A = this chain, B = another copy of it.
Amino acid sequence: MKVLVIGAHGKVAQLLIPKLVAAGHTVIGGVHNTDQNAAIEKLGATPIIFDLLGPVEKMASAMQSVDAIVFSAGAGGRGYDQTILIDLDGAVKSMEAAKMAGVHRYVMVSSGASNHRETWGNAIRPYMAAKFYADRELKRSALDYTIIRPGMLTDDPETGLYQTPTADQRSIARGDVAEFINAVIADPATIHRAFDIVNGPHNLAEILH
Protein backbone atom coordinates (compact mmCIF):
# COMPACT_ATOMS: atom_id res chain seq x y z
CA MET A 1 0.00 0.00 0.00
CA LYS A 2 0.93 3.62 -0.40
CA VAL A 3 0.68 5.17 3.05
CA LEU A 4 0.75 8.87 3.83
CA VAL A 5 1.93 9.63 7.36
CA ILE A 6 0.85 13.15 8.35
CA GLY A 7 3.22 14.50 10.96
CA ALA A 8 6.03 12.24 9.80
CA HIS A 9 8.68 13.98 11.88
CA GLY A 10 6.95 13.20 15.17
CA LYS A 11 8.45 10.68 17.57
CA VAL A 12 5.86 7.94 17.02
CA ALA A 13 5.87 8.53 13.25
CA GLN A 14 9.65 8.15 13.08
CA LEU A 15 9.32 4.75 14.71
CA LEU A 16 6.37 3.86 12.48
CA ILE A 17 7.84 4.68 9.09
CA PRO A 18 10.62 2.02 9.10
CA LYS A 19 8.03 -0.57 10.18
CA LEU A 20 5.71 0.36 7.32
CA VAL A 21 8.63 0.23 4.89
CA ALA A 22 9.70 -3.18 6.24
CA ALA A 23 6.12 -4.40 5.77
CA GLY A 24 6.39 -3.56 2.09
CA HIS A 25 4.47 -0.30 2.02
CA THR A 26 5.49 2.78 0.10
CA VAL A 27 5.54 5.62 2.58
CA ILE A 28 5.06 9.33 2.02
CA GLY A 29 6.03 11.43 5.00
CA GLY A 30 4.03 14.61 5.37
CA VAL A 31 6.05 17.34 7.09
CA HIS A 32 5.51 21.06 7.58
CA ASN A 33 9.10 22.08 7.07
CA THR A 34 11.65 21.06 4.40
CA ASP A 35 14.32 21.00 7.12
CA GLN A 36 12.76 17.69 8.11
CA ASN A 37 13.13 16.12 4.65
CA ALA A 38 16.52 14.50 5.26
CA ALA A 39 15.32 12.74 8.40
CA ILE A 40 12.27 11.39 6.57
CA GLU A 41 14.33 10.14 3.63
CA LYS A 42 16.69 8.41 6.02
CA LEU A 43 13.73 6.45 7.38
CA GLY A 44 12.90 5.21 3.89
CA ALA A 45 9.99 7.52 3.12
CA THR A 46 9.45 10.23 0.53
CA PRO A 47 8.98 13.59 2.25
CA ILE A 48 6.24 15.93 1.12
CA ILE A 49 5.20 19.30 2.47
CA PHE A 50 1.83 18.84 4.10
CA ASP A 51 0.53 22.07 5.58
CA LEU A 52 -2.31 21.48 8.04
CA LEU A 53 -2.92 25.23 8.13
CA GLY A 54 -3.38 25.32 4.35
CA PRO A 55 -6.38 24.67 2.11
CA VAL A 56 -8.11 21.28 1.84
CA GLU A 57 -7.52 21.19 -1.93
CA LYS A 58 -3.76 21.33 -1.46
CA MET A 59 -3.91 18.51 1.07
CA ALA A 60 -5.97 16.45 -1.37
CA SER A 61 -3.38 16.93 -4.11
CA ALA A 62 -0.79 15.39 -1.76
CA MET A 63 -3.03 12.34 -1.37
CA GLN A 64 -3.19 11.26 -5.01
CA SER A 65 -2.94 7.45 -5.32
CA VAL A 66 -2.59 7.10 -1.56
CA ASP A 67 -4.26 4.00 -0.08
CA ALA A 68 -4.13 4.86 3.60
CA ILE A 69 -3.52 7.87 5.80
CA VAL A 70 -2.06 7.95 9.30
CA PHE A 71 -2.69 11.18 11.17
CA SER A 72 0.12 11.52 13.68
CA ALA A 73 0.54 15.29 13.70
CA GLY A 74 0.07 17.64 16.61
CA ALA A 75 0.65 21.24 17.54
CA GLY A 76 2.64 20.17 20.58
CA GLY A 77 3.83 23.19 22.49
CA ARG A 78 3.15 25.70 19.72
CA GLY A 79 0.24 27.38 21.53
CA TYR A 80 -3.46 26.71 21.96
CA ASP A 81 -4.34 28.62 18.79
CA GLN A 82 -2.36 25.92 16.98
CA THR A 83 -4.08 23.23 19.05
CA ILE A 84 -7.39 24.37 17.54
CA LEU A 85 -5.99 24.85 14.04
CA ILE A 86 -3.85 21.70 13.80
CA ASP A 87 -5.16 19.04 16.20
CA LEU A 88 -8.79 19.85 15.42
CA ASP A 89 -9.32 21.86 12.25
CA GLY A 90 -6.19 20.56 10.51
CA ALA A 91 -7.20 16.99 11.26
CA VAL A 92 -10.75 17.54 9.99
CA LYS A 93 -9.44 19.23 6.85
CA SER A 94 -7.26 16.19 6.19
CA MET A 95 -10.39 14.02 6.46
CA GLU A 96 -12.16 16.25 3.94
CA ALA A 97 -9.09 16.06 1.71
CA ALA A 98 -9.10 12.26 1.94
CA LYS A 99 -12.69 12.23 0.77
CA MET A 100 -11.84 14.64 -2.03
CA ALA A 101 -8.88 12.50 -3.13
CA GLY A 102 -10.83 9.24 -2.91
CA VAL A 103 -8.76 7.83 -0.05
CA HIS A 104 -10.91 5.66 2.22
CA ARG A 105 -8.58 4.36 4.92
CA TYR A 106 -7.74 6.76 7.74
CA VAL A 107 -5.94 5.90 10.97
CA MET A 108 -6.06 8.54 13.69
CA VAL A 109 -3.48 8.66 16.44
CA SER A 110 -5.62 10.13 19.17
CA SER A 111 -4.95 10.41 22.88
CA GLY A 112 -5.86 8.17 25.81
CA ALA A 113 -9.05 9.14 27.61
CA SER A 114 -9.75 12.00 25.20
CA ASN A 115 -13.17 10.39 24.81
CA HIS A 116 -13.86 10.74 28.55
CA ARG A 117 -14.27 14.44 29.26
CA GLU A 118 -14.57 13.94 33.03
CA THR A 119 -11.00 12.61 33.21
CA TRP A 120 -9.30 15.49 31.43
CA GLY A 121 -6.66 17.08 33.66
CA ASN A 122 -6.60 20.85 33.71
CA ALA A 123 -3.28 21.35 31.94
CA ILE A 124 -4.16 19.01 29.08
CA ARG A 125 -7.84 19.93 28.76
CA PRO A 126 -7.68 22.12 25.63
CA TYR A 127 -5.62 19.46 23.82
CA MET A 128 -7.98 16.69 24.90
CA ALA A 129 -10.98 18.71 23.71
CA ALA A 130 -9.38 19.26 20.31
CA LYS A 131 -8.68 15.52 19.95
CA PHE A 132 -12.19 14.68 21.19
CA TYR A 133 -13.94 16.77 18.55
CA ALA A 134 -11.57 15.67 15.78
CA ASP A 135 -12.31 12.02 16.60
CA ARG A 136 -16.04 12.76 16.66
CA GLU A 137 -15.81 14.28 13.19
CA LEU A 138 -13.86 11.24 12.00
CA LYS A 139 -16.51 8.84 13.32
CA ARG A 140 -19.17 10.81 11.48
CA SER A 141 -17.17 10.86 8.25
CA ALA A 142 -17.60 8.22 5.59
CA LEU A 143 -13.96 7.19 6.00
CA ASP A 144 -12.79 3.68 6.90
CA TYR A 145 -11.35 4.95 10.13
CA THR A 146 -9.53 3.39 13.04
CA ILE A 147 -8.92 5.49 16.13
CA ILE A 148 -5.98 4.64 18.38
CA ARG A 149 -5.91 6.18 21.85
CA PRO A 150 -2.56 5.40 23.46
CA GLY A 151 -1.88 6.16 27.11
CA MET A 152 1.04 8.29 28.32
CA LEU A 153 3.85 7.89 25.81
CA THR A 154 7.27 6.75 26.98
CA ASP A 155 10.60 6.08 25.29
CA ASP A 156 10.84 2.65 26.96
CA PRO A 157 11.90 -0.29 24.78
CA GLU A 158 9.22 -1.83 22.59
CA THR A 159 7.53 -4.85 24.22
CA GLY A 160 4.97 -6.05 21.67
CA LEU A 161 2.55 -6.45 24.58
CA TYR A 162 -0.65 -4.49 25.22
CA GLN A 163 -3.80 -4.11 27.28
CA THR A 164 -6.56 -1.58 27.78
CA PRO A 165 -5.68 1.00 30.45
CA THR A 166 -6.07 0.10 34.11
CA ALA A 167 -5.69 2.13 37.31
CA ASP A 168 -2.15 0.77 37.64
CA GLN A 169 -1.06 0.86 34.03
CA ARG A 170 -1.51 4.01 31.98
CA SER A 171 1.61 4.27 29.82
CA ILE A 172 2.87 2.79 26.59
CA ALA A 173 6.18 2.80 24.74
CA ARG A 174 6.14 4.87 21.54
CA GLY A 175 7.56 1.85 19.71
CA ASP A 176 4.54 -0.19 20.74
CA VAL A 177 2.20 2.50 19.48
CA ALA A 178 4.06 2.47 16.16
CA GLU A 179 3.80 -1.30 15.91
CA PHE A 180 0.10 -1.10 16.72
CA ILE A 181 -0.48 1.40 13.90
CA ASN A 182 1.52 -0.82 11.55
CA ALA A 183 -0.73 -3.76 12.44
CA VAL A 184 -3.91 -1.70 12.09
CA ILE A 185 -2.92 -0.55 8.60
CA ALA A 186 -2.61 -4.20 7.53
CA ASP A 187 -5.87 -5.31 9.15
CA PRO A 188 -9.22 -4.30 7.61
CA ALA A 189 -11.00 -5.86 10.61
CA THR A 190 -9.93 -2.80 12.60
CA ILE A 191 -12.05 -0.48 10.42
CA HIS A 192 -14.69 1.48 12.37
CA ARG A 193 -13.08 0.59 15.66
CA ALA A 194 -11.31 2.55 18.39
CA PHE A 195 -8.59 1.10 20.60
CA ASP A 196 -7.46 2.30 24.01
CA ILE A 197 -4.00 0.89 24.53
CA VAL A 198 -1.24 0.84 27.13
CA ASN A 199 1.49 -1.73 27.71
CA GLY A 200 0.30 -4.97 29.23
CA PRO A 201 0.33 -8.76 28.94
CA HIS A 202 -1.42 -9.34 25.59
CA ASN A 203 0.06 -9.72 22.16
CA LEU A 204 -1.18 -7.82 19.13
CA ALA A 205 -3.55 -10.51 17.88
CA GLU A 206 -5.22 -10.74 21.29
CA ILE A 207 -5.73 -7.00 21.57
CA LEU A 208 -6.84 -6.47 17.96
CA HIS A 209 -9.50 -9.16 17.81
Contact = CB atoms under 8 A, between A and B. Distances in A.
Nearest to A93: B117
A85 interface: yes
A85 B125 contact: yes
Contacts of A137: 133, 136
Interface residues of A, number: 22
A132 B96 CA distance: 15
Nearest to A127: B84
A81 B140 contact: no
A129 B85 contact: yes
A117 to B, nearest CB: 8
Contact of A84 (B93, B117, B118, B129): B129
Interface in A6-42: none
Contact of A79 (B55, B80, B117, B136): B80
The 3 A-B residue pairs whose C-beta atoms are closest, nearest first, are A80-B80, A81-B126, A84-B126
